[in-house]
Homo-oligomer: A and B are copies of this chain.
Amino acid sequence: MKKESGGDLNQPLVEMFRPCYKVWIERGSTDFGDGLYYLLMYVKEYGSISQAAREMGMSYRAAWGKIKKIEKNWGLKLVETQVGGDAGGGAKLTEAGAELLESFGHFRQKIEEAVERVFRESFAK
């Protein structure tokens, strides 16, 4: 590549940089992004908010608060808790929670793929 005063690329841009992205969805002033996405994913996987919180490195109180806040602001129940039983209760996603988890997971995955593809298209000459 020719050397030019004040502007030189020794490497193609596509090799110089790493593309990054973040996606989330908003309703009113409350958003749902990776944090809640993983939290709901773990609730679904473990059937327990406390186990989900541990996986996220959060306190139970913080995880519970995060879920309650969005449920209240959106008027939409995402997690159902059962009290008692053999395991001392548990939690599972509501239909709405499961649908949100699945839709957001699809959205996130497809955008991740698009970011890689579009980055290469945009920065390769």
Q: Identify the stretch in A37-45, A55-63, A95-103 within 8 Å (CB) of chain B at 4 or more residues.
A: A95-103
Contact flags (1/0) for A61-94 with B, using CB distance below 8 Å? Answer: 0000000000000101110100000000000011
The copy count of this chain in the complex is: 2
What is the total number of residues of chain A having a CB less than 8 Å from a CB of chain B? 47
Which residues does chain B contribute within 8 Å of A74, judged by CB atoms? 16
Q: A7-B96, A8-B77, A106-B118 are in contact. List 18 more A-B contacts (CB 8 A).
A: A8-B96, A9-B96, A13-B100, A16-B27, A17-B26, A19-B23, A19-B25, A19-B107, A20-B25, A20-B26, A20-B31, A21-B111, A22-B23, A99-B125, A103-B122, A104-B122, A106-B122, A110-B122
